[in-house]
Amino acid sequence: MTALQEEAPAARWSWTRNAKCVRLARSQLRKYLQHWKAEELTDSGTLLLSELLTNAVRHARVSPGRRIETVFEVTEEMLRVEVSDASNDLPALRHPSDSDEEGRGLALVAMVATRWGTAPRMVNGQYAVGKTVWFEIDRKAEE
C-alpha cells in the first residue's frame, strides 16, 4: 500500500442516464485512483462501480433531465464510491437461478466490497429525491 501524500479530495461527477456513462465513469475512477497512488483498488473498484451505475441507468426510471451522480473518495484506509439517482426505489439482493441472465450485480457487490449499503440522497447537505447506493473497499483487503 502506498500512503497518500496528501488528503485526496472526493471526486464528483454527474451523468446522463445513458449506458455510455458506465464506461466513462470507470475511466474517471481509474484516473482518480492512479493520481492518488491507489491503483491496487482499480480492478475491484471499477467492477463494482460498473454494477451500481448500470443498475442506476437501467432501473432509475426518472423524468428527463434528472442526472446520476457519482462520488469517489480514497483514503489511506479505503475507497468509497457512491452512486446517486433520483429514484426512491431501493435495490434488493436477488437470488437468480442458473439460467437467469440478470440479477447478480448486488450479490457481486456484497461479495467483493468490504461494506455496502443505501442512504437517502443528499444534495448540498439537504435531503433530495432519490437514493445513494455506496460501497467501500478496505485497502488492506486489496494488498
Domain ranges of the chain: 11-94+102-142
**Which three cell numbers, joined as nine digits, stand for 18?**
445513458
Asked whether 57 and 18 are in contact (CB, 8 A), the reply is yes
Amino acid at 134: W
Sign of CA pseudo-dihedral 20, 23, 29, 32? negative
One-letter amino acid at 14 equals S
Identify the pLDDT of residue 124: 82
pLDDT digits (tens, 9 = 90+) for 53-91: 999 998 887 676 678 999 999 999 999 999 999 888 888
- Rounded Cα distance between 49 and 135, Å, is 9
The phi, psi pair for 121, rounded to 5°, reads -75, 135
> What mean pLDDT value characterizes the chain?
87
The confidence score (pLDDT) of residue 135 equals: 97
Burial (CB count within 10 angstroms: exposed 0-12, middle 13-18, buried 19+), residue 27: exposed
C-alpha cell at 124: 448540498
Note the pTM of the prediction, 2 decimals: 0.88
pLDDT < 70 stretches in the chain = 1-6, 62, 64-65, 94, 96-103, 142-143
CA distance 1 to 76: 8
For the segment(s) 11-94+102-142, the CATH number from 2.60.120.10, 3.90.650.10, 3.30.70.20, 3.30.565.10 is 3.30.565.10
